[in-house]
Amino acid sequence: MWGGRFSKSIDDAFARLNASFGFDWRLYDADIRGSIAYAKALARVGIVSETERDTLMDGLTRVKAEFDARKFETKATDEDIHTAVERRLGELVGTVAGKLHTGRSRNDQVATDTRLFVLTAIRNTQYAIRALQSAIVQKAEQHSDVLMPGYTHMQRAQLVLFAHWLMSFFWMLQRDLERFGDAAERTAVLPLGAGAIAGNTIGTDREFLARELGFRTISANSIDAVSDRDFIAEFLFDAALLGVHLSRLGEDLVLYSSAEFGFVTMDDAYATGSSLMPQKKNPDAMELARGKAARLIGDLTTLLTLLKGLPSSYDKDLQEDKEPLFDAVDTLDALLPVVAGVVRTMRVNRDKMRDALDTAMLATDLADYLVRRGMPFREAHRNAGEAVKLAETRGVELSELSAADYQKIAPEFGADVKDVFDFGQSVASREIAGGTGPNAVRAQIAAAKQIANVL
């Protein structure tokens, strides 16, 4: 490929270090699509005849078929996917294959291929996020009247609907999905035509190439075009943040499926046993959701570290961009359907959640009661706090204090104070938009279904 200038072939160990075919073969579809479009662009400027173009396109289609059928035979000299495809094309169609690389460099080629790969990965990830979102919406709808303790600082805080807790993850995922969409906008910028660094002399129609390959627009600077891996960094950030969200869901579900909570039960299909303790049922799926976030963050860190301090334009370091990218794509591919399966199949234990409610969680409602009687909130907060303290010293529920006890704390407390100790009422009184009131949650779910196009 560059033999003309060299007097001996490269060292074996170095060849192994230098080669990327072992992983970048995965770009074959993108690489061949790019080359087919490029053959057309070459014909438009007369570098190849129409017959030659057709020969090239035909040969490239045959190379792709070999890859598709997992029948592509690798040679030790195949440094990367680009040289492998060109080598095989030469074997199939002869010397005309040598015209394909006119005006093109592997620098603009690999940047183009990787962008095509990322665009496909973004679409697949968005589909997988949608599937998880619909599992969430369905589960929330099926259990729309289940009450549960809401926690802050992992301490019982206020009552919420189980559906409200679950739907909070819908919105995180919605932001993830939109973030991937934003990244796609900046990924769909065509580098091809940038050559090695300076553009090309043959005047390929870059707008034509962009249209052929489904890019939104063309890059404005050939140095930036071969240098830019921001689109991978963005993809990896979006993947890492999605991983963090799945990890937080994982943590909630690991806790909630423990005997101490028992709020949900994992389906057997998504749990594992212990090789030693016969009674164990472990929430491995959600533990892995937590664990996989670590490697997604690692993938992002690898890429940012790779780019930091790199001279502009193309450097071979950039070949190291692919493994973290592929790893993140594979991780999300494996993880998202499992998390969707866990949510779809988990059993929701209404009674366990009911048992975990206590009237101390209604202390805010108690303060609100006094506020409705004209007391400033700060004072109401202190009075409700005193009631909590009194109940705690007596070892009784807040609802078990007598009307006289309450009157002693504040004369504003009437006999109707006992109405405060109604769990359903507590939730029902929070019908503010975005709150946990049943109607508010119904509206939230309806909005989510519209956004996500879930039926």
Single out the residue of 185, 142, 342 nearest to residue 254, CA to CA: 342
Whether residue 233 contacts residue 303, with contact meaning beta carbons closer than 8 Å, is answered with yes
- 399 is an active site residue: no
Nearest distance, CB of residue 318 and ligand ARG, angstroms: 5
Q: What is the CA radius of gyration of the chain?
A: 30
Q: How far is the CB of 227 from ligand ARG (least distance, A)?
A: 11
Question: Measured from the CB atom, is 251 or 323 closer to ligand ARG?
Answer: 323
- Residues 116/213, Cβ–Cβ less than 8 Å: yes
The residue (of 192 and 370) whose beta carbon lies closer to ligand ARG is 192
Local structure of residue 415 (DSSP, 8 states): G
CA–CA separation, 81 and 110 (whole Å):
9
Q: Which is nearer to ligand ARG, 26 or 281 (CB)?
A: 26
- Which is the catalytic residue, given 258, 274, 312, 402? 274
Catalytic residue selected from 7, 9, 153, 275: 153
Long-range (24+ apart) CB contacts under 8 A made by 393-396 are none
Three-state DSSP class for 198?
coil
How many residues are there in the chain?
455
Q: Which is nearer to ligand ARG, 267 or 323 (CB)?
A: 323
Sequence-separated (6 or more) residues with CB below 8 Å from residue 232: 114, 118, 303, 321, 324, 325
Closer Cβ to ligand ARG, 261 or 314, answer by number: 314
Q: How far is the CB of 317 from ligand ARG (least distance, A)?
A: 9
Token pair listed for 241: 């943040």
Verify whether residue 168 is a known catalytic residue.
no
CB of 326 to ligand ARG, least distance (A): 12
Q: Which two tokens stand for residue 198?
A: 């300076």
**Least spacing, CB of residue 316 vs ligand ARG, in Å:** 6
Footprint of ligand ARG (CB under 6 A): 20, 24, 80, 106-107, 110, 314, 316, 318-319
Residues known to be catalytic: 153, 274
